[in-house]
Structure 1
Amino acid sequence: MGRMTEKADLASGRATLSDVAREARVSLATADRVLNNRAGVHAKSIARVREAVARLNYRPDPAAARLARTRSHRWCLVLPSGGNAFVAQLQAELAACRAWLEDHRASVQILEVDVFEPQRLADLLRSLQGQCETAIVMGLDHPLVQNAIDGLVDGGCEVITLVSDVPRSRRHAYVGIDNAAAGRTAASLLGRFVGREPGEVGVVAGSLSLRDHAERCLGFNQVMTTEFTHLTVLPAVQGKDSPALNEVLVRQLLAEHPRLRAIYSVGAGNAGISAALKAAGREREVVFIGHELTPAARADLLDGTLDAVINQDAGHEIRSALRQALARATREPVHADQERIRIDIYLKDNLP
């Protein structure tokens, strides 16, 4: 009879996290770990907490979430080092969020690392343990990096991957475009721009160990091998997003492949590709498709060197990552439609 009375009392008001913990016969800390998908909880305890949530119709209390906003939040943003123009855009967009961060009592420390070196990236991630409550990471999909992310999660740090995902890790969210779809879009544009004359297509990536670059190449090849079979896609060359290295690689492509009809640049460093095409006098002859509407890409679109740019909105990505970091801290829901990052296509005719 006492049990029935307890359930009736719970049903008469909004269930709290303490109610869930009591109903599941676990500690408050364990219930919190389960609801926030943190590791270190026995499977039976997870099942009991989830059953209690369903029985009590538990939902996070918005009032409690608002109260949590009075706490200060420390977040870290891990970005590639070097002169990547898109990364510079991400940093500029973060600076534009200063007032929003102040309003929500949040601070973000930017950390730069050579993301093409998995050991360096993993070491940096491990060093963040206890230094921030959320790490927003743009990095390499590599076992060392995956392990470092899982270690952060085990220690209670939230992890959000940005632009390039590490899906086998226990990261809490990914913010970025569908990169396979972006690659398919690039192939559709490139194939139609080239026309029906046979030839070869060069692919320049930063690193195929970057999940976004690998997925773009996958999507690109899916379309090229089924819809544009008169074009031969050459093996991807990897320039580590370096304009200088990309210029060397494209000079070699042009010299060794006289039937080169087009180039798809999967990552950054497009200024080097542009320089190589112009030096060879083939900037109007070779179709060139790239990513990210940087100032240099805008100039190349306008003068005809670049034919199209596949873009992701750096501002939307930064704001989405910050909103999701805050939602994790305050246990408020995330609106999936608001956080979906679109794939934009720019030609010289529709530049914003």
Structure 2
Amino acid sequence: MSQRERISNVIREYDAQGIHRTATTTDEASAHWLADHVRAAGLEPRLEGYDVHRLDPGECFLELDGRRIEGVPLFDCTYTDVEGVAGQFCTSTSSDEIALVEVERGHLASNLRTLRRESDAVAIVVVTAGRGGTVFTDGDTRGLVLQNAYDFDEPFGPPVLQVSNEVVEWLRERAEAGTRARVVAPAKRTWATAYNVTAELPGSDPKLKPVVVNTPRSGWWEIAAERGSGIACWLEVMRGLVASSSQRRVFFSANSGHELSFSGMVSVLESYPYLVADATWLHFGANIGATTGTRSNIAASTEALQRIAAAELDSVSRPTHYVIGKSDGGEMASVHRRGGRQYLALTNDNAYFHMREDRFSNNINVDLVTEYASACLRIAQRLVAHSPSDT
């Protein structure tokens, strides 16, 4: 089987498994599926479980002007009972009513977090816009865009219901008119087990500092491009390094818990704390090879690592933007906060990021993912041959 066929099959299978939210039955089944692929690549997988709350929302909706609009609550807020809360629909979060808030699609949604902490609203209805912010422009994507739960372990603020931006104009009209509204957003937390899939390629020289190849494997929907492409690249790097052997130990980790405060990465760092400072990290982030993407982004902790990445990614047909000395805000931010200073993180943009529409059938450029997999294998081989962590 060719590399392209392997990559296509992996992403297609991952996409078909269902919704990959942390600690669900799909998430656990997907961990076992990935373990089988690790074994086929030549390493012995480990399923490393950790305790985490699974959040199960009930029937959640906004009731407004005789219309019911279904939504999904934030996973780090408070919740209503099954009767919900009622109030005047408005755009002010300082009043004791139901507030409409529009936010631009962003990686951290920091403005929304600040607003929630300061809000007096009984509930908030959030509409996440596309690339153009709160004013829709050509290229924006209509639909339900979900926000990650950056404060999953410390939920705060009023109940927050996320609804599709397809109805944003109608919602603005209702807010301007001060229409009465009701938000129903119940949810239940249950202790569960999530799994990181790990494997190790033992090096022949224990004095050499390790390399870590990492990718998240969970998220809100089927997430073919957001996560499936990174998993495919992760497996191809694994396969290539196994075939070429290594003097240096290489640790592979595919983490659950990405959308829930990066809890899977936190578990890895707590289980293997020496990896933070000792290892050089190669991280496959979101949206690699998404058909709707326009460029790749590399967060390199040092200029030396940026040069290594640039030398190999120049062969990829999609242009690359480089940021040096700043993490990508995802899992590598967790590494950086704990003192890690040697990492490369690859992401692409994606018009369907955090949306149900991110599927294999319409958002995967298999040829482009294959280009990234080949380039990143060469990057990994260079890191294994001479890691900046050795100096």
Q: How would you bin the TM-score normalised by the shorter chain? A: 0.3 to 0.5
TM-score (normalised: structure 1) = 0.32
**Structure index of larger Rg:** 1
Q: Bigger relative contact order, structure 1 or 2, given CA contacts below 8 A and separation 6+?
A: 2
TM-score (normalised: structure 2) = 0.30
Q: Which has the higher helix share?
A: 1
